[in-house]
């Protein structure tokens, strides 16, 4: 017997057919009861807008391919709020789910202190002990904030999807989109698997149980104890149009990094503010403080069309086993201490790192080494890049590297790299550099058009040909096959007007 009345969605079906139900939650009593009901395909849980609920929403059951279970909101007013108060593992928890969609909730999970309250989450998707392929989990347009205190840790945080104690399982069709994730202890958005891995061998590689159709886009992640985003365990995943801000306030970590991935594309993102907790003099040192990171146990990694600014450096490249790293058509503006960071400096296992058509801009007053913290590049080729320093640029003491070659790069106020074979020492003649600011439009990247080349630039039609270069520049201008330019943005004879304020 039901202890309260739900509104059913009446379908014109035979009486013997199970009807999808519309569960409307407008009281704490109904909220407490909903987790005891096993959802059926097509069911909907709707929380009333303008209301605040306490505890954990952990519904049971699963949807189907044509009838997912949906959690959302109804009525008028602000998003419904779930406050787990640091007492529950998560504000929303989906256990062993397939065909679930969560949309339009506000969640918190903290006792209000800045102390460590355990392994807490805002929204937590957990597969545990039951093998299988789990499909169609969507988390969209949620506001997840104030989870735990401002603490470190990779295995907890804002929105996480984990597989634990399984040996042959994966996710297919996971989408985390358009969420705002702020003031998070741990990692803002993350995933992990106990059985997914990439093993590189001399004669190839083996990939096991990698997740498919993973799409993480349009999220804003700000002020996290550890990384903003960790991207793991996936084949051909896309992470795009995300704002990654003020990462790793209580420990070091790049704003976004990949691990155990094949073919990941990290693109059209903005990363800034990864400098530690300056106010409280906390943050654990300087290592791993860039916007982006091609980590190890990965193959065919693309870091492209991104905007990094005001981090300690732009991009990390790990020297433990990684292969086929492409870093192209990005802009690094005023990253404070370096541009590239080669991690695990004693290792020598990174293979085929290709860095091309990036634009690096450093204002006066910053003491920046291209290779941060004196790190040694390895097995890397740099082509068609612009290194622009308003003041004097430095390379770093180990910049010669191991099997590292520079070809056809442009240098302004920095000497060409020792290996450079076709140096262009000149002003690249940007339109209006250094003024892009924060929170740019990641769909158009128009605020970065200050890095377009002027007529007469030595970069125009001066690029060396690069096979499989992507076909477009940072602002989606087609690359002229007969004469590519140097840098992240192609010269345009009838260029669009530069964004207001640029």
Q: Per the domain annotation, does 444 fall within a domain?
A: yes
Q: Per the domain annotation, does 350 fall within a domain?
A: yes
Q: What pLDDT is recorded for position 498?
A: 54
Using a 10 angstrom Cβ sphere, with 0-12 exposed, 13-18 middle and 19 or more buried, the burial of residue 231 is buried
Task: Residue 414: give the domain boundaries.
Answer: 344-355+371-502
Q: Per the domain annotation, does 421 fall within a domain?
A: yes
Using a 10 angstrom Cβ sphere, with 0-12 exposed, 13-18 middle and 19 or more buried, the burial of residue 467 is exposed
CA-CA distance, 286 to 301, in Å (whole number)? 24
Q: What pLDDT is recorded for position 483?
A: 83
Instruction: Give every CB contact of residue 500 below 8 A, 6+ residues apart in sequence.
Output: none
Q: Quick one: how many helices (H) and strands (E) in the chain?
A: 1, 43
Three-state DSSP class for residue 175: strand
Three-state DSSP class for residue 196: coil
The tens place of each residue's pLDDT in the chain, 502 residues long, gives 333 333 333 333 333 345 899 999 999 999 999 999 999 999 999 999 999 999 999 999 999 999 999 999 999 999 999 999 999 999 999 999 999 999 999 999 999 999 999 999 999 999 999 999 999 999 999 999 999 999 999 999 999 999 999 999 999 999 999 999 999 999 999 999 999 999 999 999 999 999 999 999 999 999 999 999 999 999 999 999 999 999 999 999 999 999 999 999 999 999 999 998 644 444 444 689 999 999 999 999 999 999 999 999 999 999 999 999 999 999 999 999 999 999 999 999 999 999 999 999 999 999 999 999 999 999 999 999 999 999 999 999 999 999 999 999 999 999 999 999 999 999 999 999 999 999 999 999 999 999 999 999 999 999 999 999 999 999 999 998 778 999 999 998 765 555 444 4
CA-CA distance, 97 to 219, in Å (whole number)? 22
Q: Per the domain annotation, does 456 fall within a domain?
A: yes
Q: What pLDDT is recorded for position 12?
A: 31
Instruction: Give every CB contact of residue 157 below 8 A, 6+ residues apart in sequence.
Output: 121, 122, 147, 148, 184, 185, 186, 187, 188, 189, 190, 224, 225, 226
Q: What pLDDT is recorded for position 480?
A: 83
Q: Transcribe 146-191 into DSSP letters.
A: EESSS---SS-EEEEEEEES-SS-EEEEEEEES-EEEEESSEEEEE
List residues bridging with 180 in a β-sheet: 143, 220
CB 388 within 8 A of CB 428: yes
> Which strand (E) or helix (H) includes residue 29?
helix 28-34
CA distances to 142, 370, 414, 427 from 390, in Å:
42, 14, 10, 10
Q: What pLDDT is recorded for position 278?
A: 45
Q: Transcribe 258-315 into DSSP letters.
A: EEEEES-EEES-EEE--S-BTTTTBSS-SSS-EEEEE-SSEEEEEEES-EEESSSEEE
Q: How many domains does the chain have?
A: 1
Q: What pLDDT is recorded for position 279?
A: 47
């Amino acid at each position: 017997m039901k202890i309260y009345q739900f509104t059913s969605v009446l379908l014109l079906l035979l009486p013997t057919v199970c009807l999808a139900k519309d569960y409307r939650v407008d009281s704490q009593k109904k909220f407490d009861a909903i987790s005891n009901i096993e959802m059926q395909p097509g069911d909907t849980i709707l929380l009333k807008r303008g209301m605040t609920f306490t505890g954990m929403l952990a519904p049971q059951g699963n949807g189907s391919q044509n009838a997912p279970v949906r959690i959302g909101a109804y009525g008028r007013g602000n998003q419904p709020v779930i406050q787990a108060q640091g007492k529950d593992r998560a504000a929303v928890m989906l256990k062993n789910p397939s065909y679930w969609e969560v949309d339009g909730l506000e969640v918190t999970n903290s006792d209000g202190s800045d102390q460590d309250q355990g392994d807490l989450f805002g929204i937590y998707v957990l597969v545990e002990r039951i093998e299988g392929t789990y499909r169609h989990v969507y988390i969209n347009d949620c506001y997840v904030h104030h989870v735990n205190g401002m603490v470190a840790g990779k295995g907890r945080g804002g929105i996480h999807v984990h597989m634990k104690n399984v040996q042959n399982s994966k996710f297919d069709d996971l989408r985390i989109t358009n969420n705002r994730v702020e003031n998070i202890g741990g990692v803002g958005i993350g995933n992990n698997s106990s059985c997914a891995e990439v093993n590189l061998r001399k004669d190839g590689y083996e990939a096991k149980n990698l997740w498919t159709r993973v799409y993480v886009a349009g999220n804003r992640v700000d002020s996290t104890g550890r990384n903003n985003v960790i991207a793991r365990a996936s084949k051909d995943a896309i992470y795009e149009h995300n704002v990654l801000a003020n990462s790793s306030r209580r420990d070091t970590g790049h704003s976004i990094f990949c691990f155990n991935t094949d073919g990941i594309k990290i693109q059209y993102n903005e990363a800034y503010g990864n400098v530690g907790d300056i106010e409280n003099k906390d943050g654990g040192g300087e290592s791993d403080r860039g916007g982006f990171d091609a980590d190890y146990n990965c193959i065919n990694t693309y870091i492209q069309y991104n905007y990094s600014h005001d981090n300690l450096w732009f991009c990390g490249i790990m020297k433990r086993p990684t292969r086929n790293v492409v870093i192209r058509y990005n802009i690094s503006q005023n990253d404070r201490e370096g541009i590239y960071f080669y991690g695990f400096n004693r290792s020598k296992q990174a293979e085929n790192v290709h860095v091309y058509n990036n634009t690096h801009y450093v204002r006066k007053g910053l003491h920046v080494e291209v290779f941060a913290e004196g790190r040694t590049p390895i097995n890397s080729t740099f082509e068609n890049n612009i290194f622009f320093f308003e003041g004097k640029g430095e390379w770093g003491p180990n910049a010669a590297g191991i099997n590292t070659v520079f070809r056809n790069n442009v240098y302004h106020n920095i000497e060409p790299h020792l290996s450079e074979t076709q140096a262009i020492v000149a002003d690249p003649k940007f339109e209006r550099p250094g003024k892009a600011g924060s929170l740019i439009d990641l769909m158009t990247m128009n605020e970065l058009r200050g890095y377009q080349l002027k007529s007469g630039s030595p970069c125009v039609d001066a690029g060396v040909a690069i096979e499989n270069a992507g076909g477009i520049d940072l602002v989606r201008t087609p690359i002229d096959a007969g004469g590519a330019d140097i840098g992240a943005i192609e010269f345009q004879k009838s260029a669009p007007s530069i964004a207001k304020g640029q």
